[in-house]
Amino acid sequence: MKIYPIQTHGGETVRDDRELDVARDLALPLRDTLQRPLRDLRISVTDRCNLRCTYCMPREIFDASHTFLPHAELLTFEEIERIARLFIQLGVQKIRLTGGEPLLRRGIEQLVEKLARLNTGEDKPVEVALTTNAVLLARKAQALKEVGLARVTVSLDSLRDDTFRRMSDSDIAVATVLDGIAAAQAAGFEQIKINMVVKRGVNDQDIVPMAEHFRHSGVELRFIEFMDVGSSNGWRMDEVVPAREILARVGAHYPLQAIDPDYAGEVAARWRYADGGGEIGVIAAVTQAFCQECSRARLATDGKLYTCLFATEGQDLRSPLRAGVSDQMLLKLVAGCWGRRADRYSELRPLLTTPPSAKVEMSYIGG
């Protein structure tokens, strides 16, 4: 009989495979009401950040009236590991750590090491990635690589200090972020992506300069349409630069060729430079919604499970976890939540007469 050690709130205990054989009780792979599988888990490890990006954590709201979570309300690394292990049993193949800014979470390398040891089956390790603003990446890249982090995505919205500081509402220099990217390359990360949120009238003039900078660099630049995540970023449709316009601007300088997706549910439409200069991606969640292929679940900093980036409510996992419920009960709770999932906000956005009033903030749920 197989024995599975797990961590409970009261200490370590063991449960046998009769309790953990979820395949006997649940139809796998899991599917939601629109027949979408559960493949990706994003875990927010902190709600704090060292920037105040206007589209994510605007200072006038978060520094004036927002209360950040006390440490005791954050999921511990052991709790995150246990939940991740259960999600893997339900079909998750990729885990991405987010925030806030995940590198602010003390000991983040320990969590990466725990997660990188998990297997999805047949001794295939789960893929662990991380999204960061790279302010602290130069000093942490090597250690993260050594403990098993597979991929890094860096948020960078401009190469010009004035624009970058305006969007991040900080005194951080672009050079700090570029140093972090260089450190990740030096550490041996083969897959580094740059996310640029494009906002009309703010940084859209930097679309082509960003493309020029990262061509032939081995780093993939991804342009993201400005989205109405959360309720605090003052989103307006006229500030969205559509994907087709972004591609037209880049393509006017460097001809592009479409590339097939790497896998089902890939959110970025991929394009290569015709001259071999590398690739770019465009995430068009506003103008070309891809809800029908979304396979992502999101675990917020306080242990609530959200099934959509634009959700208004989450399923509490921390309370039952700390009450000592069994893995089987947690598995059924997650499976039930996913099985009821019908989210397709981006597809329905054009039909809404009034937007939802209490969407979860990006800094709380991760990007």
- The string of pLDDT tens digits covering residues 313-367 is 899 999 999 999 999 999 999 999 999 999 998 888 887 777 666 777 777 787 6
220 within a domain of the structure (yes/no): yes
205 within a domain of the structure (yes/no): yes
56 vs 134, residue with greater confidence? 134
Average pLDDT of the chain is 89
Per-residue pLDDT band for 131 (boundaries 50, 70, 90) equals very high
8 within a domain of the structure (yes/no): no
On the question of pLDDT at 122 being above 70, the answer is yes
CATH number at residue 215: 3.20.20.70
| Domain tally, the chain | 1
15 within a domain of the structure (yes/no): no
12 within a domain of the structure (yes/no): no
Domain assignment of residue 91, given as a range: 21-365
11 within a domain of the structure (yes/no): no
9 within a domain of the structure (yes/no): no
pTM equals 0.90
Span 188-208, pLDDT tens digits: 999 999 999 999 999 999 999
139 within a domain of the structure (yes/no): yes
Residue-wise over 132-143: b if at least 16 C-beta within 10 A, else e? bbbbbbbebbee
pLDDT for the residue numbered 21: 58
Per-residue pLDDT band for 22 (boundaries 50, 70, 90) equals low
